[in-house]
Structure 1
Amino acid sequence: MNEMRLIVDPPARGTWNMAVDEAILRGAADLGVPTLRFYGWSEPTLSLGYFQKYEDRRQHEASKECACVRRASGGGAIMHDRELTYSFVAPVRDSRSEETTRWFDLFHETLIQVLATWSIRAHLSGKPQADSRQEPFLCFQRRHEVDVIVDGNKVCGSAQRRHQVAVLQHGSVILQQSACAPELPGLEEITGHEISAGHLIDRWKDLLKSTFQSTYQEVPLTDKELESAQEIESVKFAHSDWTHKR
């Protein structure tokens, strides 16, 4: 990858954040270059994994009054509050290739290296032991082998959504504990390090650029992508039929 587009967005509503990721995914082949995007959330928002039942959110008392969106990717529910979300979209020849699966390791391993610059020891979870019990509602209480772990706590997880000619990967890093998910400590509570989203972005994007052997073009969404995102938000992510579909 010789060139990537970099977008650092201000906090926005959850439906818009999801719509922008999908608009970039749909237009990736036309754009022709990967897009790395960092963003935040303007209010505490619970995002359900694509396959989760909406009614299951009732089992999580602390987030019951929060805004709720349904992601297009799978996995458990995520409380987006005092955290950083990234997304990475790239056109591909084969969306099921080993290269795209490797993105999980690439992003998580570079995050581990970045955290080490704050003297934080992190590692990949490794293959979890088989468990016949139902998986927890919250993503950050689940374990997958590429999750990033600090002192026994999951601090970053990611998921993918594949199109035939492009792949979207997005994930979250918990910076601080949220009152809407008090069972999940953030990096500050675990390590004592207060890391801002801006500082994490600065160090992470530089390492990702080096890892991808790429250069960045800091350019915003195209007019076509903005138009697409507005339509996607209206007919999909902001629509109750999508949110309550399961």
Structure 2
Amino acid sequence: MEEWRLIIDQEPLAGSMNMAIDEAIHTLYTSVNRPTLRFYQWARPTISIGYFQFLEREIDGQALKERNMDIIRRQTGGRTVLHSNEITYSIVIPEQHAKLPPGTNDSYRKISQCLQVGFRYLQIETSWKSNVEKMHHQTSACFDTPAKYELLIDGKKIVGSAQKREAGVILQHGSIPIKNHAYDLFDVLKFESVEERKHMRKRYETKASYLEEVVLGEVSSEQVIHAFCKGFQEVFAVHLKAERLLDEEKKLALSLVANKYGTHQWNYRR
């Protein structure tokens, strides 16, 4: 059976380090030469924005400071996510992997199947839409509208994911919220009026879900991660071996924090 590397961070990390580690694993894939599945959490509430978003147009910098939130720009696309009380996953895998369908949409579908099986181990049934209509009057929040093959519970989005492809290697990472973030998130998004903010936040809460809303009884982050690991093992028919980052991955991650993710130039470049 094929063996993949499993990285589970034992301590929550700063947003800059989380993004730097993901990029280091992606960049140095050939040093490991096996797919890597990683699960991690965040040391403090952090807003992440997609690579192509205009930060100052969409995010209220003063509100961020008042709420003591961090801000980080992802190397992947997509829209705004508030990372707080959540499980985050990332997977680094070559585009030509024998068990991964070619094409962006089909690879999303395959990875969503892994998460879907993981949710079943938590006694949660999910679905997805293979064709997603363009929504009007949506906000810049990621969970406002599902993308193709993103998972839904009773029509509400439960996982937000984004992907990057470079040098023949895919990085996909995604957010699985445990608690409702709507108030904190919408407090830092920009709107033309207070009334619009309230209206769009109320609408958002009909579109986004979170684990505490749907899970049966108490569930720990360890149980959630274990369930998703089983999902990846089952769908890809692989064995996950728990390991640590390579020294060269750690070194590159620290450099990326110092020179990229921890800098104003990167995060506010648009």
Q: What is the TM-score of this pair, normalised by structure 1?
A: 0.89
In structure 2, do the counterparts of structure 1 residues 11 and 32 end up closer, same or farther at CA, with 3 Å as the change threshold? same
User: Which residue is equivalent to 2:120?
Assistant: 116
In structure 2, do the counterparts of structure 1 residues 137 and 61 end up closer, same or farther at CA, with 3 Å as the change threshold? farther
> Which deviates more from structure 2 when the two are superposed, residues 51-60 or residues 208-217?
51-60
**Partner letter of residue 113 of structure 1?**
V
Contact 1:29 1:165 in 2 (8 A): no
Q: What is the TM-score of this pair, normalised by structure 2?
A: 0.82
Report matched runs for 1:60-209 at 5 Å. Answer: 65=67, 66-93=69-96, 98=102, 101-131=105-135, 133=136, 135-178=138-181, 180-181=184-185, 183=205, 184-190=208-214, 193-209=217-233
Question: Structure 1: which 4+ aligned runs deviate by more than 4 Å?
Answer: 59-64, 182-185, 190-193
> Which deviates more from structure 2 when the two are superposed, residues 160-169 or residues 33-42?
160-169
Q: Deviations over 1:160-204 (max 9, x none)?
A: 111113110101111221352374542212456443221111111
Give the aligned CA root-mean-square deviation in angstroms: 2.5
Residues in 2 aligned to 1:237 and 1:62: alpha-carbon distance in whole angstroms: 17
How much has 1:54 moved relative to structure 2?
A: 1.1
User: Which residue is equivalent to 2:201?
Assistant: none
Gapped regions of structure 2 (runs ≥ 5): 187-204
Percent identical pairs in the alignment equals 30
Residues in 2 aligned to 1:158 and 1:113: alpha-carbon distance in whole angstroms: 16
User: Which residue is equivalent to 1:25?
Assistant: 26
Residues in 1 aligned to 2:111 and 2:218: alpha-carbon distance in whole angstroms: 21
In structure 2, do the counterparts of structure 1 residues 61 and 121 end up closer, same or farther at CA, with 3 Å as the change threshold? farther
In structure 2, do the counterparts of structure 1 residues 63 and 155 end up closer, same or farther at CA, with 3 Å as the change threshold? farther
Equivalent residues, number? 244
Q: Deviations over 1:72-127 (max 9, x none)?
A: 00000111001110000023459x97166433212222322232334322111332
Gapped regions of structure 1 (runs ≥ 5): none
User: Which residue is equivalent to 2:60?
Assistant: 58
